[in-house]
Amino acid sequence: MLDVNFWQDKTSSKKIIKEKKLYEDLINSYEGSINKVNDLEGLNDLAIEENDINVQKEVFENIKKLRSSVKKNEIRCFLSNEADELDCYIEIHAGAGGTESQDWADMLRRMYLKWSDSKKFKSNLISEHKGDEAGIKSSTIKIEGDYVFGWLKKESGIHRLVRISPFDSGARRHTSFASIWVYPVVDENINIEILDKDLRIDTYRSSGAGGQHVNTTDSAVRITHMPSKIVVQCQNERSQHKNKETCLNMLKARLYDFEIKKKEKESQNAELSKSEIGWGHQIRSYVLQPYRLVKDNRTNFESTSPDKVLDGEIDDFLEQSLYQTK
């Protein structure tokens, strides 16, 4: 930062300043925690000496708060990979099962949007294909905020729901599947080469909300990257040009994500998570009947409050995924 040319490259300087602030916050928090521990230790010794139960209780409550603060910093240390600080796209696809799975896909989208709102992050709907009767067949959302990809990167995979179907007149129990695919929004300073000859670009009419313009023009764009078979689409913008630009950004993100996972030797697992949206592949099960339980099959972490989880309270699951070593 002391270099005379530091401010010439705004992108690079912005990134360095962000990293500097992260490290400063971690160091300051660590030093603050050490000072707090010493203060509480002295106060506790004095309370024991004077047999002051009220002060001892106060010390205990402060220790619990301190542990929570230390835990937050510990988690931030896990978010240190190259792409962790980036925003992310979340693709949601309903599995086989028609309306049941399409409704489940919509429930998952709502869960991630509620989580995003609770963090004060910004979210945008990129594309959507509605179900025939209810829910969605597929959807892509973009979430912007501090370390969003780092938080959500382990959510990719098959999510399974067991419940009494609201669409079954016989009130029978159904099992539904939907896949989640999370990948980072490529930073401006990351160069991903895409050749025009490798792309197939299709346009079509948007099916979602957007007014008369969207319904009467072929503004939606779908791009297929032929070498990798990756397909991206966008329909949320009113102009075909902007939708194409968003698609290209998403394609860069997908290709970048693929390279990251290859470096981390996770590409095989990633392909498995994209394969069959059904039995034997789920990373997490959400059971509403005959008992109530959400269980992550990778970490074995459980919650007996599925309603809270589906309302976006997924931090405990995200934290356990970060702690898990590969």
Q: Which residue has the higher pLDDT, 325 or 287?
A: 287
Pair 139, 127: CB distance under 8 Å: yes
**Region for 132 from its dihedrals, namely left if φ exceeds 0, alpha if ψ lies in -120 to 50, beta otherwise:** alpha
Q: Worst-scoring range by mean pLDDT, 124-138, 185-199, 307-321? A: 185-199
The predicted structure's pLDDT at residue 211: 42
Q: Worst-scoring range by mean pLDDT, 60-64, 66-70, 92-96? A: 66-70
Helix, strand or coil, per DSSP, at residue 228: coil
CA 106 – CA 109 distance, rounded (Å) = 5
CA 311 – CA 49 distance, rounded (Å) = 47
- The residue-averaged pLDDT of 174-195 equals 84
Pair 142, 126: CB distance under 8 Å: yes
Q: Does residue 207 have a pLDDT over 50?
A: yes
Q: Does residue 201 have a pLDDT over 60?
A: yes
* Whole-number average pLDDT of the chain: 85
The predicted structure's pLDDT at residue 71: 80
CA 214 – CA 128 distance, rounded (Å) = 13
Q: Worst-scoring range by mean pLDDT, 74-88, 97-111, 145-159? A: 74-88
Q: Worst-scoring range by mean pLDDT, 71-85, 163-177, 309-323? A: 71-85
- The residue-averaged pLDDT of 297-310 equals 96
Selection from 44, 73, 45, 72 nearest residue 60 by Cα = 44
Q: Dump pLDDT digits (tens) for 211-236.
A: 444 444 678 899 999 988 889 998 88
CA 146 – CA 155 distance, rounded (Å) = 17
Selection from 225, 205, 223 nearest residue 214 by Cα = 205
CA 78 – CA 188 distance, rounded (Å) = 24
What's the first-to-final CA gap in the chain, in angstroms?
A: 35
Residues 6+ apart with CB under 8 A from 72: none
Q: Does residue 157 have a pLDDT over 60?
A: yes
